[in-house]
Structure 1
Amino acid sequence: MADRFAARAALLAVPVALSLALAGCGRMPGILPAAPADGAPSSAGPPPSSGASLAKLDPCTLLSPQDRSTAGLTVQGKPKTIGEARACDWTVPSTFGLTVTLDEVNGLANLDVSKGKRTKKDVGSHQALQVSGRNGTCAVLLDVGGAASVQVDVNNASFADSALACSRASEVAGLLEPKLP
């Protein structure tokens, strides 16, 4: 009887762990605001004018219903905050999680992307950096000028196939890009 209970508990733990991992897909591990070079604590201060234009955008409405369908998103996004940045999470059960973050105080130069494979690219008229991680993760980070960025993070539910995660992140970045300042 105890063995059956332990086996059921173990089976239930997998979906719970997976849903927790996807629900917190936030930023890809290793993509955080970089510490200042002098070691002093960073101060956010007021966002620059390019960040102010991000203030007018809602990360959960940047993808139209047609965009969401194109990207394979079958669920509504849920607003959240990552640090001081506004974000929106979409979790497609048993498939993938997506987070779009509008960061008004951290431009690409201020993000620590020291982990993962980095590839510079252009997405529309914006310069971008693709960071491919392990275990089915990828981020496309778009430079929107000065101290601001838009970050598109994808985590595959299978924790495998980073190429697929990068394809999804690139597709969503392409859908968002025309709407960015």
Structure 2
Amino acid sequence: MADPMYSRLAALGVFALLTVSACGQGAAGQAPAPSMKAVHGGASAAATVPPAVLDPCALLGPQDRSTAGVNVLGVAKEINGARACDWTVPATFGVTITVDERNGLKDLEVARKTATKTKVGGRDALKVADKKAADGTCAVLLGMGEKASVQIDVSNTNFTDTPLACERAMTVAGLAEPKLP
């Protein structure tokens, strides 16, 4: 039988390790998505995560946020019953990633005149922007099987420069896509 003092110290050490490793991960009150790199020998875990467990805030890690020009943590929210995460860079732009488990690309209501078929990674996607409105907004919609999708919406704070909004949306989509199932 193990020494009771050793068992208590081991439990305290595990608790301390978990507490320290959780620091700075995700938004307040939100658990980060588990990393399976150690479990699967470096393979990406997100490829095995079903949409129902996919955390939209985990789709942009610290390095991804830096690459995308996002210097704030995401805030978890819900949009029409779907999980979402919102990053707002003060006086610059905002990004919202929504995981929709009920609607694939074909099911989404998109004005066809504003949508352009594209690919992100090897995944079918739609880039949606109203060039005539020139309102500084753009969305990239990524297919995730027949009945699910991930929607990346970018709005420039000054509501101008739609091409820049689309560039930002495509950058975020490229960073998030490898983490999708």
Normalised by the size of structure 1, how large is the TM-score? 0.69
The structure-2 alpha-carbon separation of the partners of 1:80 and 1:115, relative to structure 1 and needing over 3 Å to count, comes to farther
Alignment of 1:87-102 (within 5 A): 87-102=84-99
Matched, 1:68 2:94: no
TM-fit CA distance, 1:147: 1.1
**Residue in 1 that maps onto 2:9:** none
Q: Post-superposition shift, 1:58?
A: 0.7
Does the aligned pair in 2 maintain the 1:154–1:165 contact within 8 Å? yes
- SS in structure 1 at match of 2:56: coil
Counterpart in the other structure of 1:161: 161
What corresponds to 2:102 in structure 1?
A: 105
Determine the C-alpha separation between the residues in 2 that align with 1:74 and 1:116. 33
Amino acid at match of 1:83: N
- Name which one, 1 or 2, has greater alpha-carbon Rg: 2
Q: Which segment is superposed worse, 168-177 or 52-61?
A: 52-61
- Secondary structure at the counterpart of residue 59 of structure 2: coil
How many corresponding residue pairs?
130
In structure 1, distance between residues paired with 2:113 and 2:53:
32
CA–CA separation in structure 2 for the residues paired with 1:115 and 1:128 = 13
Tell me the SS of whatever aligns to 1:113. coil
Query: Which residue pairs with 1:28 in the alignment?
Result: none
Match of 1:126, as an amino acid? R
- Per the alignment, in what secondary structure is the counterpart of residue 129 of structure 1? strand
1:23 corresponding residue in structure 2 = none
**Structure 1 CA distance for aligned equivalents of residues 93 and 113 of structure 2:** 19
Q: What residue ranges of structure 1 are gaps of 5+ in the alignment? A: 1-51
Contact (CA 8 Å) 1:79, 1:89: kept in 2 or not?
Answer: yes
The answer on whether the counterparts of 1:116 and 1:132 sit within 8 Å (CA) in structure 2 is: no
| CA apart distance, 1:116 | 5.7
Q: What pairs up with 1:17-166 in 2 under 5 angstroms?
A: 53-114=50-111, 117-133=114-130, 134=133, 135-166=135-166
CA RMSD of aligned residues (A): 1.3
- Give 1:79's aligned amino acid: A
Kindly provide the amino acid, as one letter, of the partner of residue 159 in structure 1. Answer: F
CA distance in 2, matches of 1:65, 1:83: 27
Q: Which residue identity lines up with residue 109 of structure 2 in the other structure?
A: D
**Aligned residue type for 2:100:** D
8 A Cα contact 1:96 1:155, kept in partner: yes
TM-score between the two structures when normalised by the length of structure 2: 0.69
Distance change in 2, residues 1:71/1:137 (3 Å) = same
SS at match of 1:60: helix
Gaps of 5+ in 2: 1-48
- Residues 75-114 of structure 1: per-residue CA shift (max 9 Å, x gap): 1100000111100000001000100000000111111111
